[in-house]
Amino acid sequence: MSAALDRLILFTRYPEPGTTKTRLIPVLGPEGAAEFQRRLTERAARAAAATQSQRGLSIEVRHSGGTETGMRQWLGEGFRYRPQGQGDVGARMQACIRAAFEEGAERVVLIGADIPDLTPAVLIQAFDALARHDLVFGPAADGGYYLVGATAAGFQTSSAYLGPGITWGAPDVLARTLAMVRDAPLTCMLLETLADVDGPEDLPGALRALGRQRSRSAISLVVPALNEAGQLGITLSALDLNHGLEVIVVDGGSSDATVAIARAAGVRTLAARPPRSVQMNAGAAAAGGDILLFLHADTRLPKNFQEQVRRTLAHPRVAAGAFHLQIDAAGKGLRIIEQAANWRSRFLQLPYGDQALFLRRDVFWESGAFLPIPIMEDFEFIRRLKRRGRIVIVPGSAVTSARRWQQIGTLKTWIVNQRVMIGYCMGIAPERLAKWYRLKKT
């Protein structure tokens, strides 16, 4: 088989927030969904490039949205870039495959970009299958397919399986396609079934797959931030960034120097608009560590936190952990707040977000991540986590800024917080509670 006659086409979308992976937007936000699309496409592009180095085939990236210049700046100079064209997904695939054959290819394989487990071995197997069959398909777990390949003769015999007779997105896409292939008739081979990523329910498996395919930090710190220039530098300077620690600052659209401070510290920055729950989910989706730690931008961790985190999560019955609360200001009222929070955390297993919740990445996604609500996301998530195992409070202290209590007074802040919690437990909508909370805090 002459590899020079092989053409690999990668179908993808430029990662413009709000236009890609839209079913993930409620959980990750527009920016987080676009970032996840970016990550998936880069993974597919690496698999394609590795296949090219083994087989010498040509690669064409067919994109929706964006420009050739933007695509080249994103994925590099190693590919040919062309727009997908018009029509539904079947019509676009059909046109792209036809163009490849008209340009002299004899075997064409087209792949989607949202398959985390796609490897060069799968792609090589697809081209090898075309030495013996007219067509090859890679079945997707949802009933569609992530890969379609054809020989020139097989495509010319019939390409109706890419035509209007298929309802794209339906759970029987592959079954209907194979029925058309048998009627042609054409010979066909099926590859292994792989999962793609469409909705939030696909995220746990996708992130496990992506985690297996990259060099990982043991712990990923996710820091949601919005106009935190006065606190973020202090928080980041307290971290030892030289011991396998990944830090992701997820900025919610700051108008101050928050992003500049994060970049100056050498940590990764992402953009994701509030609420904070969505910012944290977006950071978790981008994280490479097996352990996630959610850290408020005004909170400092103890020096030995990494050791404490690993030791705590080594116990199989532990679902998550957090630290004791310490408020960085003097005052009898604040000491009472600390004691009450630490008592609640220890005996009721209900730590709040300012105590730096940590847990394994798989547990986070399998538990449903943070709900995309504007307030009480930590309280709601902890209640779900308790069904999976113990929530352990480790001896070290997370030192948090006293600004919330100093703004309107310790007692008034405590009363506001308790009313919000009671209101949430009574079923008052989080959106209404968030408005009430902001009014009470001014």
Condensed to tens digits (0 to 9), the pLDDT of residues 417-432 reads 888 889 988 999 988 8
Domains and CATH numbers, the chain: 3-200 (3.90.550.10), 217-401 (3.90.550.10)
The answer to whether residues 299 and 398 touch, using CB atoms and an 8 Å cutoff, is yes
For residue 416, with 0-12 CB atoms within 10 Å meaning exposed, 13-18 middle and 19 or more buried, which class applies?
middle
The DSSP element (H or E) to which 249 belongs, if any, is strand 245-251
Cross-sheet strand order for the sheet of 245-251:
268-271, 245-251, 219-225, 291-294, 358-360, 318-327, 390-400, 299-300
What confidence score (pLDDT) does residue 156 get? 86
Amino acid at 441: K
Global pTM reads: 0.89
**Cα distance between residue 66 and residue 82, in whole Å:** 10
**Cα distance between residue 421 and residue 379, in whole Å:** 8
Helices (H), 287-402: 305-313, 332-348, 361-366, 377-385
Does residue 253 sit in helix, strand or coil? coil
pLDDT digits (tens, 9 = 90+) for 356-411: 999 999 999 999 999 999 999 999 999 999 999 999 999 899 999 999 888 888 88
What confidence score (pLDDT) does residue 413 get? 85
Low-confidence ranges of the chain (pLDDT < 50): 1-2, 215
- Residue 181 has a CB neighbour count (10 Å cut-off) of 19
The answer to whether residues 47 and 81 touch, using CB atoms and an 8 Å cutoff, is no
What confidence score (pLDDT) does residue 441 get? 54
Provide the sign of the torsion angle of the four alpha carbons 202, 83, 162, 100, taken in this order.
Answer: negative
